[in-house]
Structure 1
C-alpha cells in the first residue's frame, strides 16, 4: 500500500512542479493516461489516483473525451464560492430551493453568491458577466425563458474557459452535453390530464407558459394523454402565455373559457399560481370548484393548500432539489463527477379540486 501511495505522489509532485516552475501554461494538455503510466512505469489505476488528486486540488481539469489540462496557477486551490442564478428569488417555490442549496453548501464549507434574472434574458446575460468576473468555482442556474434561450453560448464558453463548473435546474437546455436536475414535466402533464380523463372529463382546457421548457413539456404530456383517448387538440381552449404578458393574458383567457357556450369541465394549469388565478375568476363568475370546474396544477407549493380549494397537483421536490444541486456542483468542482443528469419522476398529489363527471 505504501509503495502505491509513493508512486502516485511522485506523479502528483512532478506535475505540480511543472506548474509552479512555469514550465507549462494554463490550458496545455497533459499526456494521456497510458503515456503517463509508461513514463513512470506504473499502472493506469495509479495514474488515475494521481489525476483525481490533481483535479480535486485544482491543479488540472478534465474535459470528457478530450483529456486532462493544466489549470491557471493562480487558481490552483479550489475556490469555495458557488453562484446561484435563478429566475426568481423571494416568492413561490424558489425560497425553498435556495434554502436547500444554501444548507448543503454551508455544510460543505462553501459560500453562496445569489443572482436573480427575473426571467429576463438580458438580465441573465448581465448576471453571467458578473458571475464570470467573480472568484467562483461553480454555478447553479435556472435558465430564463428556456424555450427561446439555450443559455448564452458565449457565456457558457467563458465559464468553461475559466474552469467554472455549472449545472442547470428545472430546465435541461442541452440534454446530451450539460449537467442538469429536472422534474419530468412531460410525465407530469400526462398524469394530470390522464387523472381528469379517468374521472370522465373530455372537454379539458389548459393554460401553459410558452417561453419556459417546463411549459412546453407539460403541454406535450397533456396532448399525449388526450391522444390516448382519441381526443383531438382543441386550440380554442388551450392558452399559452409568456413572461411579458402573463398577468393580462391569464385573466383574459380564463374569462373567455368561462363564458363559452360549451364550457370546459376541467382545466390543467401551468402551476399553482395560475390555478389560484383561475379560482379567483371562478368565484367572480359564481362557478363552483370542483362542482362546475375541476382544476389541476403543478408544483405542490404552499399556494396549493392556501385557499378553500385544496389543489390536486404535481409535486416539485423544492428543497430536496436544492440540496441535490449543491451536492452535484461540489462533486463537479472537486472532480468526482463530470456532468451529472438527474430527472425526478412526476408525483401526483390528489386533493379535492376535482370531481367526477
Structure 2
C-alpha cells in the first residue's frame, strides 16, 4: 500500500525528480501503519533505484522519467491463447502492472528455434527479468547456453509449468506426477481396470502425468498395457488423441475409461467415443486435466484436474518482483493438484 502510493507519486510526476517525498511520519499517519511497514516500503523502493536518502535531510525521488528507467519483464510461453495460458497471463500482468513493470509477451509454439530467438532478444534488449515456460521441456535443452548468458547478465528468471533439468532457477509448478496419480486413482475407485492413457510427451508435464498414471496402475496390481498408452507431440496434438481413441474403441476388450493429458485431448476423445455411437459416461468414462473453460460448458461436464492458472501467474510475478527488489534469491513453489469431479465418469 505505501510502496504503491509512493510509486504512483513518482511515476505520475506528482513528485518530480530529486524532490522530497513524504516523511515516514506522514506516511504512517496517512495509512495508519507502523514505522517498520513504512521503512520496509522505503527499503524496497530504494533497492529498485526509485528513491534515495540524504542523512539529516530526508528521502528524495530518484525517478527520472526522461531517462527511461528499465522496468521491462519478458514473458515467454509456449502458447498465448487457449489451454491454461490466458489465466496465467492475466495473473502475471496484474502483479507486474501494480508493481510498475511492463510486460513484453511472446510465444514459441513449442518450437526450440523460436525459444532461442526470444532468449537472444532478451540478451540484446533492456530487460530485467524473464518469466518462461520451457519449450519441449522433456527434450534436450538446446538453449542452455543462452539461459546461462541471461543468468550471467544478472537477468532474473522464473520458470512456470515445467523446468529444464540442467538449469537451476526460481519456479512455480503444478505437481503433475501427483495429478496423474490422483486422476487414475479416481477411475480405479470407480472400479475401472481397463484404463487408457493419452499423453503429450515432448513436454515434461506429459511425462510426469504419465508417470503418475503408471504408478497408480502398478499400486493397484494392474500390469502396464502398452496398447492402452498413447503418446503424441506438438505436431500431432490436433488429431492424434481422436485417432488413437478411435483405434482402441474398434478392438475387442477396449478401455472402459480414458485419462487424458489435458482437456483439449479429452474433448477429442469424447468426440471419438460419440462417433462410435457410444456415450460418456454411460459407456466410457473420461478424465481430463487443466480445468480449462470450454470443458466446463461442454455436454460432457468433464471431470478434470484443476490447474491454478491465474494463481500461478500471480505467484510467478511476485517471485520476479521479489528477486528484482533483492528480497528473494531463488524462490520455488509447487501447487498440489485438485480433482474437480463433474459428470464424465461412472462406477462400473
User: Does the 8 Å CA contact 1:143/1:151 hold for their aligned counterparts?
Assistant: no
1:106-117 alignment to 2 at 5 Å? 106-117=97-108
Give the secondary structure class of the aligned counterpart of 2:258: strand
Note the C-alpha offset of 1:211. 0.4
Q: Deviations over 1:236-267 (max 9, x none)?
A: 01100011222332232111111111110000
1:199 aligned to 2:204? no
1:285 aligned to 2:311? no
User: Does the 8 Å CA contact 1:102/1:112 hold for their aligned counterparts?
Assistant: yes
Of the candidates 341, 345, 348, which is equivalent to residue 354 of structure 1?
345
CA distance in structure 2 between the partners assigned to 1:243 and 1:190 by the alignment: 23
Gaps of 5+ in 2: 1-39, 50-67
User: Does the 8 Å CA contact 1:81/1:112 hold for their aligned counterparts?
Assistant: yes
1:265 aligned to 2:256? yes
Note the C-alpha offset of 1:78. 7.2
Give the secondary structure class of the aligned counterpart of 1:247: coil
Q: Which residue is 1:251 aligned to?
A: 242
CA distance in structure 2 between the partners assigned to 1:92 and 1:176 by the alignment: 26
User: Does the 8 Å CA contact 1:78/1:334 hold for their aligned counterparts?
Assistant: no
Change (3 A) 1:194 1:262: same
Give the secondary structure class of the aligned counterpart of 2:239: helix
Q: TM-score scaled to structure 1, two decimals?
A: 0.78
Note the C-alpha offset of 1:222. 0.4
1:323-342 alignment to 2 at 5 Å? 323-342=314-333
CA distance in structure 1 between the partners assigned to 2:45 and 2:189 by the alignment: 57
Of the candidates 60, 63, 70, which is equivalent to residue 79 of structure 1?
70
Gaps of 5+ in 1: 1-48, 59-76
CA distance in structure 2 between the partners assigned to 1:243 and 1:298 by the alignment: 17
Change (3 A) 1:53 1:245: closer
How many residue pairs match? The answer is 290
Give the secondary structure class of the aligned counterpart of 1:168: strand
User: Does the 8 Å CA contact 2:144/2:167 hold for their aligned counterparts?
Assistant: no
CA distance in structure 1 between the partners assigned to 2:147 and 2:321 by the alignment: 18
Q: Which residue is 1:190 aligned to?
A: 181
CA distance in structure 1 between the partners assigned to 2:46 and 2:112 by the alignment: 33
Aligned-residue Cα RMSD (Å) equals 2.1
Of the candidates 84, 90, 96, which is equivalent to residue 105 of structure 1?
96
Q: TM-score scaled to structure 2, two decimals?
A: 0.80
CA distance in structure 2 between the partners assigned to 1:93 and 1:270 by the alignment: 13
User: Does the 8 Å CA contact 2:288/2:303 hold for their aligned counterparts?
Assistant: yes
Note the C-alpha offset of 1:117. 0.4
Note the C-alpha offset of 1:269. 0.2
Q: Deviations over 1:85-126 (max 9, x none)?
A: 000002222111101100110001110000110111111111
Hey, which bits of structure 1, 4+ residues long, moved more than 6 A?
52-55
Note the C-alpha offset of 1:54. 11
CA distance in structure 2 between the partners assigned to 1:309 and 1:275 by the alignment: 10
Give the secondary structure class of the aligned counterpart of 1:267: strand
User: Does the 8 Å CA contact 2:133/2:162 hold for their aligned counterparts?
Assistant: yes
User: Does the 8 Å CA contact 2:243/2:272 hold for their aligned counterparts?
Assistant: no
Q: Which residue is 2:157 aligned to?
A: 166
1:147-166 alignment to 2 at 5 Å? 147-150=138-141, 152-166=143-157
